[in-house]
Structure 1
Amino acid sequence: MTTALDTRVYVVDDHQEFRQSCVWILEQANFQVRDFASALALLKEFSRETPPARSCIVSDIRMPGMTGLELQSELSHRGVSIPLIFVTGHGDVPLAVDAMRHGAANFIEKPFDAPLLIDAIHTALANHAPQTASPALTKLTRRERQVLDGIMSGKLNKVIADELSISPKTVELHRSNLMAKLGAHNVVELTRVVLGQN
């Protein structure tokens, strides 16, 4: 039987006091804890060392530099599959919906009680099936990957076109090609393929 001692929790938040508070709460619950002041610092850690099988990330959703949602997207692109729990002081419902739509395990509003966070981590780990990014993604061209990134971020074709300095028609063509290559008929199926759930 696994225990909290077998689990590592990565805490990512730019506010030092909040990080220290989280670390204290989680260490009292016998979790292994590592904390980071930014999403980029966490990604550097993951570049150096593969996280243990039983890991969880607790991250602020709004941070300077790379946001929690951008971290979520980057982890997905790297094929890193770890339950991610977002915390925020803003209670931003659209952000919560977006985070959950992209696979976040939970979303907690600051301030919260210690048991809520601990329960959220246990639930996230219990419900998490390890996933790896689909090998099918290697079939995509660089431009198709860029269009896919836009789609996964919930952007409209016109917005993707503006960002990539191409026409909306060209975006539609790339979108059609990448969905055919990945065997997806809609965005839900596409998301499953990207997350390796197909």
Structure 2
Amino acid sequence: MTEARIYLIDDNDGFRDSTAWLLETAGFEVLAYPSGPAFLDAFAGERQGGGAQCIVCDIRMPLMSGLQLQEELRRRGIGLPLVFVTAHGDVPLAVEAMRKGASNFLEKPFNDETLIDALRTAIANARQHAGADAGDDRLSRLSPRERQVMDLVVASKPNKIIADVLGISVKTVELHRSNMMNKLGVRSLPELMKVALGHG
């Protein structure tokens, strides 16, 4: 039984092969593609199954950038969680991608556990939002903005990045973060993770 199906999209053959091997070793099923169009063609042909799925995609690629792929997925109504991997100079693009709904972004190079944790968190958050889990009614106490802040905190983003993604000040992030923790009755990040992922 695989943990989830990962669609890996990157034009770098070496990165794609090594990352596919890493994820398969961690228990994921991996389908790898060299470009956005190649993924879209295959995905349209196979139609997704009912299991957990997530996309890992580079931001800068020929033929179709990660942001263009994200836009096309939205246009087609494909709501899979999306984790971007990006070079350091692409962070502003990645922030823009998160504004448009991406689950997370990781700067290359990243360690193995960082990617695996990001995927598990993205999948768990997608399930939570879809109501697949009974969930925790404490989450219903959060305002939409507090929910956004919580998702980004759980994705391990610092306050500065959260502020950039949401277009608010760091001070405002701190205020939402404090309110959110109080409403959920948690005092630490590990406690927050448990509640956010439905284990609290």
TM-score above 0.5:
yes
Q: 1:19 maps to which residue?
A: 16
Long gaps (5+) in structure 1: 132-198
Give the CA deviation at 1:130: 4.2
Identity fraction in percent: 52
Q: Which runs of 4+ in 1 moved over 4 A?
A: none
Give the CA deviation at 1:14: 0.3
RMSD: 1.5
Q: 1:81 maps to which residue?
A: 79
Q: 2:108 maps to which residue?
A: 110
What CA distance in whole angstroms lies between the structure 2 residues aligned with 1:108 and 1:119?
11
**Secondary structure, aligned partner of 1:74:** helix
**Mapping of 1:30-109 within 5 angstroms?**
30-53=27-50, 54-109=52-107
Per-residue CA shift, 1:132-158, capped at 9, x if unaligned? Answer: xxxxxxxxxxxxxxxxxxxxxxxxxxx
Per-residue CA shift, 1:149-173, capped at 9, x if unaligned? Answer: xxxxxxxxxxxxxxxxxxxxxxxxx
Long gaps (5+) in structure 2: 132-200
Letter in 2 for 1:19: R
TM norm structure 2: 0.61
- Compare CA radii of gyration and give the structure with the larger one: 1
**Secondary structure, aligned partner of 1:63:** coil
What CA distance in whole angstroms lies between the structure 2 residues aligned with 1:28 and 1:18?
15
Structure 2 contact 59–90 (Cα < 8 Å) conserved: no
**Secondary structure, aligned partner of 1:92:** helix
Q: Tell me which of 117, 120, 126 is aligned to 1:119.
A: 117
Give the CA deviation at 1:63: 0.2
Letter in 1 for 2:105: F
What CA distance in whole angstroms lies between the structure 2 residues aligned with 1:6 and 1:50?
19
What CA distance in whole angstroms lies between the structure 1 residues aligned with 2:3 and 2:107?
26
Give the CA deviation at 1:47: 1.1
